[in-house]
Every structure is written in structure tokens, then in C-alpha cells.
Amino acid sequence: MRCAAEHLTPCTLELGGKSPVLVADDANIEVAARRIMWGKCINAGQSCIAPDYVLCTEAIRDQLIETCKATLTEFYGEDVKGSKDFGRIIHSCHFQRLKTMLDGVKDKVVSGGEAERSRLALYVFTEDNSLLQRVLHSISAGGVVHNDVLQQYSVSSLPFGGVGHSGFGAYHGKASFDTFSHYKPVLCTPAASYLENVNSIRCPPYSESKIKEVNKLQLPPEGLGGGTSRALRITSLVLQGMAGRRQS
């Protein structure tokens, strides 16, 4: 970003971030467990949008945990280390780094930590649409998936990106084209001489009568676009300013 700033080059950045999973009491636990564990274990969890942690009520906690454990056995057998389908950490340095992190939280309940960190992805398992809408309107995230994980990345028509500390901007499909494009507004006006009779109201010399005429035009007839009204308002302010300057 520093190098880009030196050359005024715009950036789109996906910076990673936490990706929580919300499992409501009414969720299909079997489906949620399979999809969560698939998303968490694919490539040994080494993806920026892998589920980081699960939030649920105590009412379904034990059932969800046991179902997740059973799903792991179904996917990779009794000995996950011996499974040919489970990904591996690329080298021993990263393996040891992850092992140290796990050893530090064994048999501990961790609360808080990164509460202010922006979410790159948010996964919500529920059949209650009102709850889903509440989550969508109250929790910020780069992207949201309902009743699944990771799938937002595979849909090319969906912009992919973060928000806040998890990044800014978006790409994929048309969003990639848009992020590397400049929206150049172009306004075309006719060069007809007869219009100068109307345009004279915006040109010097300025007078109180011109200001009054522009003020009348600020209330456009029905059907006249709001952009025209704003343009007239700006013209009025300019005229008032110039008239005031001339009087002073």
C-alpha cells in the first residue's frame, strides 16, 4: 500500500480475518456439522475463509460437538493422520507454529480476544428468516453464506472481498472488471445559441433579480429530475455569493 500510495495507485486488498459460524437452535445439525467440518478441514484448514469458530447455544452444543466428531470419522477414518484425503501442512516450521498455538489453549475456555477484528466471512445456519435478516443487518462481514461455508468463493458473479481490517474492495467476475476500471462521468449539453438567453441568468453581472429568478426555478415542476433542481440550487448559491461579494 505504501508503494501504491506513492504513485496514487488504487488498491483492492483481501487481508484475511476471522470467519465465525453461527448455528441457531433450529438449524439442521447433521447438515451444519458436515458442511462446517468439510470447510474447516479442506486443505487442512489453510484457506482465508475457513470457519474459525462456532457460536451456538448450550441447548445444541453437545449435539453439535458429537456430530462434528462423528463427521470427522466419516470423512477421514479413525486415524486422521493416516488418511490420504486429509491435507498436510507444507513444512515442519508451520506445523510447529500451529502446534504451539494449540498447546497454549488446551483445556481452556477462551473469551474475547479479537472482538474488534473485522470478519472476512460469516456463516449462518438457521431456518428462521427473521433471525437471518437480523444477523445480516447487525453484523458486518466481507461476505455471508446461509446454511453453508466457503461457497461464496466459487460463485463468480458474487464480489469477493473484505471489510475493515479484513480488506477493502472486491473482485471476481464483473467486480474484477469494475475494480480496475474508472467510472468516467460525461455530461453533454447542446451548443444551441438560443439557450444563451436562459444561460445568461448564471453569468455576470449578478443582480437581485437574477437570484430571485433562480430561486423560483429551484422548485421544479412535477417530473423534472432532482439533478436539475440541485444544479439550480448550486447556481443560486453561486449567484448569491457573487452578489454578496460585489456589495461588500
List the catalytic residues.
14
Alpha-carbon distance 179 to 206, whole Å?
Answer: 44
62, 29 Cβ separation under 8 angstroms: no
Torsion 138-139-141-145 (CA) sign: negative
Return all residues near 240 (Cβ < 8 A) that are at least 6 apart.
Answer: 211
Hey, what's the torsion of the CAs at 18, 24, 28, 31, to 10 degrees? 10
Tell which residue, 82, 1, 94, 86, has the closest CA to residue 43.
Answer: 86
Tell which residue, 149, 126, 195, 121, has the closest CA to residue 39.
Answer: 149
160, 171 Cβ separation under 8 angstroms: yes
Alpha-carbon distance 160 to 175, whole Å?
Answer: 8
Alpha-carbon distance 178 to 171, whole Å?
Answer: 8
**171 three-state secondary structure:** strand
